[in-house]
Amino acid sequence: MENARLRRIFDVLGRLATDGPQTVTEMSNALSLPMSSTHDLLKAMVKGGMASVTTHGYDVGPATLRLSLRVQERLNIVNAATVELQKLAARIGFDVYLAIQTGNDVVYAARFRGRRGIKIDIPIGLPLYRHATAVGKLLAAYDLEFRQETFSGNLKALTPRTHIDRQSLTEELDRIRSNGFSISREEAVLGIVGIATPIWANGRIVGIAHISALRSEVNDDRLAELAVELQRTSAVIEEQILGLRSADARPLQIIDHIGPPIYDGAYTPQFR
């Protein structure tokens, strides 16, 4: 019964999104439902913000519109970032990722292999540890709600280098926010370092650019150089999102500076 109701809700939303405002009669005929059942369903959807009442009938509601904009934004960031992240992977030789926030999780949405890529399986779309990955710490540095969610969980020691002391982790998150980038030094997987920088649009983080590399191949000086490369790439993507820059424009100049979430079900990468 519940599954059937959910299917009807999706059918209603699909029809409203495709055909625009619908009367109860039109929706009843389209769904092959009694008028009374259709009316009750539409009223419940209006109450939940999924539908709205207009002079021409029922239409999509504010909650549905917000959700569609979020989905579109997510698709847009992948499209907008792909070319620049591919260029970065080719230029530096390391694997490059695009991460996005989904609810209370942060996941990789796209991966771009470098010629010196790490033989490690990190499935796209699965939640990452918030306190031990560069992308998780970056988001926790800027998003206070995400930070609170991180600290409310178990700060599991994934490696001997994982930060599990809340005070020291708080201090690191503050430094990340100040510096504008995040580094994970073998905190999620021994031998692997990660660097992350935010991609901003309209005052909020819409994506996170990330580099993964073997610790044996990057010293602290190289980490600083990669952080600058990643910041430059994020800045180019931001301008492309705003429509201010063509894909073949010259790279931006970025000032070089470098400073010294979590639940048990999060994904732990496995070596191939």
Quick one: average pLDDT of 44-56? 90
User: Residue 272's pLDDT is what?
Assistant: 35
pLDDT in tens, 95-130: 999 999 887 889 999 999 999 888 777 778 888 999
Amino acid at 56: H
How far is it, in rounded angstroms, from Cα 139 to Cα 129?
Answer: 11
User: Residue 74's pLDDT is what?
Assistant: 66
- The CATH class for the domain spanning 68-271 reads alpha beta
Q: Which of 212, 133, 121 has its CA nearest to residue 169?
A: 133
Domain boundaries, the chain: 2-60, 68-271
Q: Is the pLDDT higher at 102 or at 71?
A: 102
Residue with tokens 């934004």: 73
Pairing of strands 270-271, 120-121: antiparallel
- Using CA atoms, how far residue 78 sits from 6, 74, 207, 219, in Å, is 29, 7, 8, 30
| Region 2-60: CATH code | 1.10.10.10
User: Residue 95's pLDDT is what?
Assistant: 95
- Which H helix or E strand runs over 153? none
The token pair at 249 is 């424009």
User: Residue 75's pLDDT is what?
Assistant: 67
User: Residue 223's pLDDT is what?
Assistant: 94
Quick one: average pLDDT of 138-146? 94
CB 49 within 8 A of CB 60: no
pLDDT in tens, 228-260: 999 999 999 999 888 755 444 444 333 333 333
Quick one: average pLDDT of 198-212? 93
The alpha carbon dihedral of 172, 131, 78, 86 has a sign of: positive
Measured CA angle at 103 (ends 102, 105), to 5 deg: 65
User: Residue 1's pLDDT is what?
Assistant: 53
- Using CA atoms, how far residue 98 sits from 2, 49, 234, in Å, is 36, 31, 10
Residues 6+ apart with CB under 8 A from 23: 57, 58
Judge residue 211's burial from the number of C-beta atoms within 10 Å of its C-beta, 0-12 exposed, 13-18 middle, 19 or more buried: buried
Residue 269 scores a pLDDT above 50: no
Distant-in-sequence contacts of 22-27, Cβ < 8 A, 24+ apart: 22/57, 22/58, 22/59, 23/57, 23/58, 24/57, 24/58, 26/57, 27/58
Q: Which of 129, 175, 121, 180 has its CA nearest to residue 150?
A: 129
Q: Which of 16, 244, 221, 229 has its CA nearest to residue 114?
A: 229
Q: Could you tell me the pTM of the whole model?
A: 0.68
Amino acid at 177: R
Confidence of residue 153 (pLDDT cuts 50, 70, 90): confident
pLDDT in tens, 216-229: 999 999 999 999 99
Residue 262 scores a pLDDT above 80: no
User: Residue 38's pLDDT is what?
Assistant: 92
State the average pLDDT for the chain.
Answer: 85
CB 172 within 8 A of CB 196: no
pLDDT in tens, 3-20: 888 888 988 998 888 888
